[in-house]
Amino acid sequence: MDLMEKNLELIEVQKLEGHTDRVWNAAWNPVSPILASCSGDNSVRIWEQSSLSRSWSCKTVLEETHTRTVRSCSWSPSGKLLATASFDGTTAIWEDLGDEFECISTLEGHENEVKSVSWNASGSYLATCSRDKSVWIWEVLGGNEYDCASVLNGHTQDVKMVLWHPTLDVLFSCSYDNTIKVWWSEDDDGDYQCVQTLDESSNGHSSTVWAISFNAAGDKMVTCSDDLTLKIWGADISMMHSGEGYAPWTHLCTLSGYHDRTIFSTHWSSEDIIASGAGDDAIGLFVDSKQHDPVNGPSFNLLLKKEKAHEMDINSVQWSSSKESRLLASASDDGMVKIWQLETIP
């Protein structure tokens, strides 16, 4: 299926209103038609799609827990738990009890604002990061217990995002220090070390790196930055799957000239479409050009750019994992969450 040959358009399905301050992040539940969003209004909103009308409405508001901005939210792989990271220095874990959500645990430890939280593929570990420059790994024990397993130091500035690899227990973090760090426990004994730093000398970013996203196979990743570029990286992870040791990530290509303001978010869909959301209020969609250049490696083309997708900066773009439709959620400083569908127009 060659997407470039089709007449594709990003159609706005619905605008979700309710937050009373900027929305920082949106996250799709991996198993149900549910979307979580978190905001500068200190709350988290859970939006659900009605099976009858197919429209989305706010099912519940999680408030009175975080005392400051909720910066990011992430569903556990089972879809039953939601982790929320806040400027108040804590990360809350919520359980979906059907009618309501209950805060079953609060992870404390960071010295200041927590910026991001991520579950590993099996749901046995959580990672958080903060302006305190550290990355914390938490072990998920039974009975709503969470234990700090590791405090990882290495970044020299504010850490903006953490993300576990989709298939391996390898952790990635990106920072205001312009680098991306890879953390791995070689002996699988929980002793994580920084095994690689992707900085400017590795063809990396020249300013704050805001987000990371992996393709479904986990052998490629995209990062976005205040330097106005997106960068694609690759690694031979089959080597890691077969236990032959660490396979380093290398720069494959840089996408520049598409956004003229900080790119805050990027997400790689299961169909290999990369979405970007930036301070220029636009959403960009990119696809592999499929031109196998042995010298320069892979290259990506702009599929489409949705200008003025929001009235203010876009902080988050997330593809739904739903097989039925190509749904994209976007969250903005304008207080809105929007749901888009990528459709072929006749």
**Residue 91 in the binding site for another protein (CB under 8 A):** no
Query: What whole-number distance in Å separates Cα of residue 342 and Cα of residue 346?
Result: 13
CA distance 63 to 59: 13
From 96, 219, 226, 288, residue interacting with another protein (rule: CB under 8 A): 226
Contact 285, 303 (CB under 8 A): yes
Run of H or E including 240: helix 237-241
Nearer to another protein, 116 or 215 (CB): 116
336: nearest Cα among 11, 58, 22: 22
**Between 208 and 320, CB nearer to another protein:** 208
Quick one: tokens of 187?
Answer: 């002996």
CB atoms within 10 A of CB 67: 11
Q: Hey, what are 12's tokens?
A: 């706005």
Report d(CA 256, CA 196) in Å as an integer.
Answer: 24
Q: Which of 60, 203, 207, 270 binds another protein (CB under 8 A)?
A: 207
Taking the least distance from each CB to another protein, the nearer of 39 and 269 is: 39
Residue 88: CB minimum distance to another protein, A: 9
Contacts of 54 (CB under 8 A, 6+ apart): none
Taking CB under 8 A as the rule, does residue 19 contact another protein? no
133 belongs to the binding site for another protein (CB under 8 A): no
Q: Are 94 and 84 in contact (CB under 8 A)?
A: yes
Distances, alpha carbon 242 to alpha carbons 170, 214, 311, in Å: 14, 20, 48
**CB under 8 A: which stretch of 45-53, 65-73, 97-105, 295-303 binds another protein?**
65-73
Cβ 68 to another protein shortest distance, Å: 5
Tell me which of 14, 203, 262, 299 binds another protein, using CB under 8 A.
262
Q: Which of 41, 96, 288, 334 binds another protein (CB under 8 A)?
A: 334
| Number of residues forming the site for another protein (CB under 8 A) | 24
The yes or no reply on residue 279 touching another protein (CB under 8 A) is yes
The region of 48-56, 68-76, 142-150, 282-290 touching another protein under the rule CB under 8 A is 68-76
Instruction: Return all residues near 278 (Cβ < 8 A) that are at least 6 apart.
Output: 224, 259, 261, 262, 263, 264, 284, 313, 314
> Where does this chain touch another protein (CB under 8 A) — which range of 5-13, 28-36, 108-116, 251-259?
108-116
Backbone region of residue 31 per phi and psi (left: phi > 0; alpha: psi in -120 to 50; beta: other values): alpha
Whichever of 208 and 215 has its CB closer to another protein, that residue is 208
Cα 238 to Cα 219, 235, 247, distances in angstroms: 8, 9, 9
Span near another protein by CB under 8 A; candidates 53-61, 94-102, 111-119, 217-225 = 111-119
Member of 65, 69, 215, 225 binding another protein (CB under 8 A): 69
Which range of residues in 43-51, 136-144, 288-296, 308-316 is near another protein by CB under 8 A?
308-316
**At which residue do the structure tokens 């205001």 appear?**
176
Residue ranges in contact with another protein by CB under 8 A = 22, 40, 68-69, 71, 87, 112-113, 115, 131, 158, 160, 176, 207-208, 226, 261-262, 279, 311-313, 333-334
